Each structure stands twice: as C-alpha cells, then as structure tokens.
Structure 1
C-alpha cells in the first residue's frame, strides 16, 4: 500500500501519525477543513479541503487511495444528539470505501473505552466508540485497529491548566502512558508489514506504568520550564459541575473510566511486530517548551 488518506490529520494524535507516514515514504493525502493550517503542517502531503458531513467530499478525496487512516474523536463540547465524526461520519467513510474498493481502514480506538459496561458504567461517548469499532470490523475491508493507553500529551495539553496539573478522583490502576510519537511510528510500521488482506488489533502501551498522581508527579519533576503543582478535585465535585457544563460532564466520565479501568500490559505482540516505544515520561517532560498562557 503506497497511497494513504488521513482523516483527522491536524488533531493532537493525527498530526504525528501523518508526519510519520510521510517520513516513512508513503504518499499521503489529508482531508481537512482548514487548508491553510494543513499546508503549514504537511508541506509534502496532498491537501484536500472537505467535510465528513459531505459524501461528495469523501468520494473526491478517496479516489485512487489504497488505505484510509481515521483519527476521529468526540469533542468535549459535542452533545449526544448531534453529528459525530465517529458515528455518521464514519458511516459515510465506510460506504465510500466499499464502493471504491479501498484495501484497508486503520482506526484509533482506545483501551479505556473498554471500561464501558464495567461496574455499571454507561456513557454515550464510549458507546459511539464501541459501535465504531464494530462498524470497521464488519465493513468487509481489511482493518487495523489501535487501542492506546493514556497519552503523555494528555498531561500537558489537557490536564495542565496554567501552572497547575489538574487531577480528579483516585487512580485504582496504573496506566502505561505512551508518547504520541512512539504510537505514530507503530502506525506507520503497520502499513509496511501487514499483508493486504490481514486484519489486526494492536494494543499501544508505553514503557512505564503510572497512576494519575504518579504520572503528574513525574512530569512536574522533569518539566523544568515552569514551576508546576497539582490540584486535586473529588469526583463528586466534578460530577456536580458536570450538571452545568458539558465540558465538565465529559471530564467527569473520562476521569472515572481512566481511574477505574483495570489496565494490564498487553503490548508485547505490538512491540514484536511494530517496534518498542522509545520515549519515557521523563524524556517527554524534558522535551517540552512552556505554553504562552
């Protein structure tokens, strides 16, 4: 497979994957809404402006492609009854991919969404994610699905608020934090090593496991550009705030799942085939520059 379409290329996790695919020598096309931004990020990619709501846009960008990589997510501001790229958007992608005989669909899921149904946990965002996985698997197209643990980037780009690392609740199980750069290299490698008709699931985990609190402590210790501290909020406070704020409701559910999902190390088969991660949480923290807040 030489020609790969990336949908979701400018996001936090789509960006390193797109760059890794380009660096690996693939001919990469991206479907974006902001063409100017994409041109700055990916000067070596073919950039097509379009929207997942529009079937014509999807047909145009998918013509001549061998595979599609999907980096989709439900944003914190989205409501259950709205359009979702991982639901209605994915339906259109699969429909067009089947008609154009695309050889492979690659899709990023998550490990934590598997918490859906455990301990009576039920959240519409995770239902969408589970349904998306089944849609890809039932499409009749060879698939690659990635199930990453927590990303190190979430500490800096989501938990960090000014000079504070915001924590919620208490982690019951450690998570194998992984750097997006390592994940991206594994994605690119998967397109090189898998046979055209081969479907695979890959668990993506990093070198070390941390609880939420331990990860924040390690990050603060090695992030020398600013003096940071942690701030902890009880889950009941987050739940109450979620009544009045869509963003806090999203945060409450995702933190609850992250804290309670019994993650085990399952990435050895991924490492054996796609390569072992290289970046530790210490490495990641030391590599960052402060935000201009």
Structure 2
C-alpha cells in the first residue's frame, strides 16, 4: 500500500499524521473542504476539495487509492440532529471504499469514549463514536483503529485560557498522556508493517500517567515561555453553563468522562508492533 487518502488533515491531530505518512514515503491525497488551508502546509501534495456530505466528492477522492486514514470528529458546536462526519459521513466513506477497492481503513477513535455506559453515563457524541467503530469493523475491509489516551496538546491548545490552565471537577484516575507526534509515528508505522489482510485495535498511550491536575502542574513547571497558573471550576458550574452554551455542554461531558474513566495501561502490544513513544510531558512542555 503506497497511496493513502487522508480525510481530516488540517487539525491538531490530523496534520502530524499527514506529515508522518509523507515522511515515511507514502503518496498522499488530502481530502479537504477548504483547500486554501492546506496548500501552504502541504505544497507538493495532491489535494482534493470536497465535502463528506456529497457522495460523488467522496467517490472521486477514493479513486486510485490503496488505503484511507480517517481523522473525524464531532465538533463542539454540533447538535444531535446535525450531519456528523463520524455518522452519515462515515457511511458514505465505507460505501465508497468498497467501490474503490480500498485495502485498509485506519481510524482515530479514543479511549475515553469507552466510558459510555459506565456509571449511567450516556452521551450522544460517544454513542456516535461507538457506532463508528462497529461500522468499520462490520465493513469487511481490514482496519486499524487507534484508541489514544489524552493528548498532551490538549493542555496548551484547549485547556489553556490566557495565562491559566482551566480544569474542571476532580480527576479520579491518571491518564497516560501521549503526544500527537508519537501517535503519528505509530500510525505511519502501521501502514509499513501490518499484514495487508489483518485487522488491529491499538491502544495509544504515553510513557507516564498523570491526573489532569498533576499533568497541568507538570506542564506549568517545564513550560518557561510564560508564567501560567491553574483555574478550577466545579462540575456543577460547568453543567449550568452547558444549559446556555453548546460548547460548554460538550466540555462538561468530556471532562466528566475524562475525570472518571478508569484508564489502565494497555499499550504494550502497540509499542511492540509500532514503536515505543519517546516524548514525555516534561520534554513536550520544554520544546513547545
């Protein structure tokens, strides 16, 4: 497999994967809605402008490809009744993949979505993610599904609000924070070493485990470009704000799941097959 279609290459997690695949020698095609966002980032890469909601766009992008990598998500502003890339969009992708003879689907899922159903937790976003995994597994196409722990990048690019790292509630279990760069290297390696006809589930975890507050303190300790502090909000406040804001409602559910999901180390097979992570939270903060 040499030709890979990447759907979702412009974001915080998709961009490192696209670079890693390109550096590994794969011939990439990037499927994007706004091509002006990626032309400067990937100047010598084939770009197809299209929309997952348009079947003909997806089928055109699949032509001549060997495999696809999916970095899909439910955006913070989306509602249950909206079009979802991981829902209706994935249905179109799988149908087009069969027509195009795609040999492998690689897909970014998450560990924390497995909290769905625990402690009476029920959220439509996690239901969509669980259904997406089942759709891929039932497609009949060999797959690689990645279930990452919390990304280090989330501390700086999502939790950081001005000079504060915003936290909510009490983090009950430590998480094995992983850097997007280490994860991207594992994705690239998977396309190089996995038998073409076999399917795999990969838990993606980093070298060290931290609760959210401990991770914030570790980051602040070694991030020297500015003085940062911690801002904490009780969960009931976040829940109340979620009544008035879709974005805060999304954040409330994510934080609740992150705080309570009993994450265990399960990445040994991933390390053996795809390589051990190299980046600690300390080195991430120092080199950001």
* TM-score range for the pair, normalised by the shorter chain length: over 0.9
Match runs of 1:43-192 below 5 Å: 43-192=43-192
Distance in 2 (alpha carbons) for counterparts of 1:122 and 1:45: 41
Question: Offset at 1:100?
Answer: 1.3
Distance in 2 (alpha carbons) for counterparts of 1:224 and 1:205: 25
Distance in 2 (alpha carbons) for counterparts of 1:232 and 1:36: 38
Residue pair 1:22, 1:44 contacting (<8 A) in 2 also? no
Structure-1-length-normalised TM-score: 0.98
Q: Deviations over 1:106-158 (max 9, x none)?
A: 00000000000000000000000000000000001000000000000000000
Aligned residue in 2 for 1:22: 22
Distance in 2 (alpha carbons) for counterparts of 1:127 and 1:220: 34
Match runs of 1:4-43 below 5 Å: 4-43=4-43
Larger displacement relative to structure 2 (243-252 or 32-41): 32-41
Distance in 2 (alpha carbons) for counterparts of 1:275 and 1:207: 12
Question: Offset at 1:44?
Answer: 3.0
Aligned residue in 2 for 1:291: none
Aligned residue in 1 for 2:284: 284
Distance in 2 (alpha carbons) for counterparts of 1:13 and 1:98: 26
Distance in 1 (alpha carbons) for counterparts of 2:15 and 2:208: 24
List structure 1 segments (4+ residues) > 2 angstroms apart after TM superposition. Answer: none
Distance in 2 (alpha carbons) for counterparts of 1:249 and 1:151: 21
Question: Offset at 1:101?
Answer: 1.2
Question: Offset at 1:99?
Answer: 1.2
Q: Could you tell me which runs of 5 or more consecutive residues in structure 1 were left unpaired when the two chains were aligned.
A: 289-293
CA-based RMSD of the aligned residues comes to: 0.6
Question: Offset at 1:51?
Answer: 0.7
Q: Deviations over 1:241-273 (max 9, x none)?
A: 100000110000000000000000000100001
Aligned residue in 2 for 1:260: 260
